[in-house]
C-alpha cells in the first residue's frame, strides 16, 4: 500500500515538471493569438467604427467604454473566484476556452455586423459590448491561470513565454497593421491608389470610415473571427492541466480577498485606477 502511494506521488510530481513539447507551447500560445485577434481588433478599432461607420457620438462611445471598465473592477474578481471553485473532467481552466470562447467571437462579430435595424443604436452597441466584455473575462482569466497549470518546469516555462509572445505579436501584426489595410481594400467607396505603408507597396483602396462601408468591416472581421475561433479550439485541444490547486486550497479563495487588499494597499489602488484609465483610453 505504501509503495503504491509513493509511486503515485512520484508520478504526480513527474507530471508537474513535465517538459512541454513544441506542440503544447504553440497550442497554449494560440490562446494569446486568438484573444488578440478577436478582442484586440475590438480594442483597436471599435471606437473608430462606432463613431464613423456606425454614427455613434464620440462622447457616448467614451462613456460606454468607461462604464464597462468600472464594472470590470468588480466582475473580474468574481469570475476568478467562480472558476477557482469549480472543475470538470476536462480540467479547471481549459473548458472555459470553449464555453465562453464561442459566445466571445459571436458577440464581437455582432459589434461589426451591418444590421440596418440597429445602425447607430446606442442601446444595441452598449448591450453587445457590455456582454462581450463580461464574456472576455471568462475566457481571459482562466486562460491566464492555465499558464501556471501546464508545468512547473522552469525551462519549459521560459520557452512557453517566448512562444506565446511570438504568437501574440503575430496577431498584433494582423490587427494593428493589416486589419485597416484589408478593410480599405474591401471598401468600395472612394477607391484610389494609396501607399499601404508596407515597404512602399501601393494598392487600390477605399475609404473605410465612410458610413456605407459596414459590409467591408464585417467581411474582414468575419475572417478574423473564424481564425480566432479555430485558434481557441487548438488551445483547448493541445494543452493539458497538470498543476491544479486542491479542493481545500480552492475552498479558501474568496472574492472579498481582493477588496480587503485594496482597502489596506493604497499603491495597489493607484495602480488599479491607472490600468482602468489606460485600458479605457486604449479603446478611444
Count of domains for the chain:
1
Q: Which three cell numbers stand for residue 187?
A: 471598401
In a domain, 244, yes or no: yes
pLDDT score recorded for residue 252 = 59
> What is the residue range of 33's domain?
22-282
pLDDT score recorded for residue 214 = 93
CA distance 31 to 235: 5
In a domain, 264, yes or no: yes
In a domain, 41, yes or no: yes
Q: Which three cell numbers stand for residue 86?
A: 469549480
pLDDT score recorded for residue 69 = 86
pLDDT score recorded for residue 9 = 36
> Which contiguous run of DSSP H or E holds residue 277?
helix 266-282
In a domain, 140, yes or no: yes
In a domain, 273, yes or no: yes
Closest Cα partner for 138 from 177, 86, 101?
101
Mean pLDDT of successive 10-residue stretches along the chain, which has 284 residues: 40 71 96 94 93 91 89 87 85 94 94 89 95 96 93 94 96 94 93 87 92 94 96 96 70 61 70 65 56
Quote the pTM value. 0.83
Phi and psi, residue 151, nearest 5° = -170, 160
Closest Cα partner for 100 from 135, 144, 133?
135
CA distance 89 to 19: 23
In a domain, 102, yes or no: yes
Long-range Cβ pairs for the range 128-134 (8 Å, 24+) = 129/46, 129/64, 129/65, 129/68, 130/64, 130/67, 130/68, 130/71, 131/103, 131/107, 132/39, 132/42, 132/104, 132/107, 132/108, 133/68, 133/71, 133/72, 134/71, 134/75
In a domain, 198, yes or no: yes
The CATH number given to whatever domain includes residue 91 is: 1.20.1250
- Cα-atom radius of gyration of the chain, to the nearest Å? 22
pLDDT score recorded for residue 257 = 64
Phi and psi, residue 193, nearest 5° = -75, 120
In a domain, 204, yes or no: yes
pLDDT score recorded for residue 256 = 64
Amino acid at each position: 500500500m505504501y509503495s503504491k502511494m509513493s509511486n503515485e506521488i512520484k508520478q504526480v510530481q513527474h507530471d508537474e515538471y513535465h517538459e512541454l513539447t513544441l506542440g503544447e507551447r504553440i497550442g497554449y500560445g494560440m490562446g494569446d493569438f486568438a484573444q488578440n485577434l478577436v478582442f484586440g481588433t475590438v480594442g483597436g478599432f471599435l471606437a473608430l467604427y462606432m463613431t464613423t461607420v456606425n454614427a455613434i457620438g464620440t462622447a457616448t462611445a467614451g462613456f460606454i467604454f468607461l462604464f464597462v471598465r468600472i464594472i470590470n473592477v468588480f466582475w473580474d474578481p468574481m469570475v476568478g473566484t467562480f472558476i477557482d471553485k469549480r472543475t470538470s473532467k476536462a480540467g479547471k481552466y481549459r473548458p472555459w476556452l470553449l464555453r465562453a470562447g464561442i459566445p466571445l467571437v459571436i458577440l464581437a462579430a455582432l459589434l461589426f455586423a451591418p444590421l440596418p435595424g440597429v445602425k447607430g443604436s446606442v442601446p444595441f452597441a452598449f448591450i453587445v459590448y457590455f456582454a462581450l466584455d463580461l464574456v472576455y473575462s471568462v475566457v481571459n482569466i482562466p486562460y491566464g491561470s492555465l499558464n501556471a497549470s501546464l508545468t512547473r518546469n522552469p525551462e519549459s516555462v521560459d520557452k512557453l513565454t517566448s512562444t506565446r509572445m511570438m504568437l501574440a505579436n503575430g496577431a498584433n501584426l494582423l490587427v494593428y497593421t493589416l486589419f485597416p489595410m484589408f478593410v480599405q481594400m474591401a471598401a468600395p467607396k472612394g477607391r484610389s491608389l494609396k501607399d499601404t505603408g508596407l515597404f512602399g507597396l501601393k494598392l487600390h483602396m477605399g475609404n473605410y470610415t465612410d458610413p456605407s462601408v459596414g459590409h467591408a468591416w464585417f467581411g474582414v472581421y468575419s475572417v478574423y473571427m473564424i481564425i480566432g475561433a479555430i485558434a481557441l479550439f487548438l488551445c483547448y485541444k493541445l494543452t493539458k492541466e497538470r498543476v491544479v490547486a486542491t479542493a481545500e486550497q480552492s475552498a479558501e479563495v474568496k472574492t472579498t480577498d481582493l477588496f480587503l487588499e485594496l482597502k489596506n494597499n493604497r499603491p495597489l489602488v493607484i495602480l488599479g485606477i491607472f490600468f482602468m484609465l489606460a485600458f479605457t483610453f486604449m479603446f478611444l
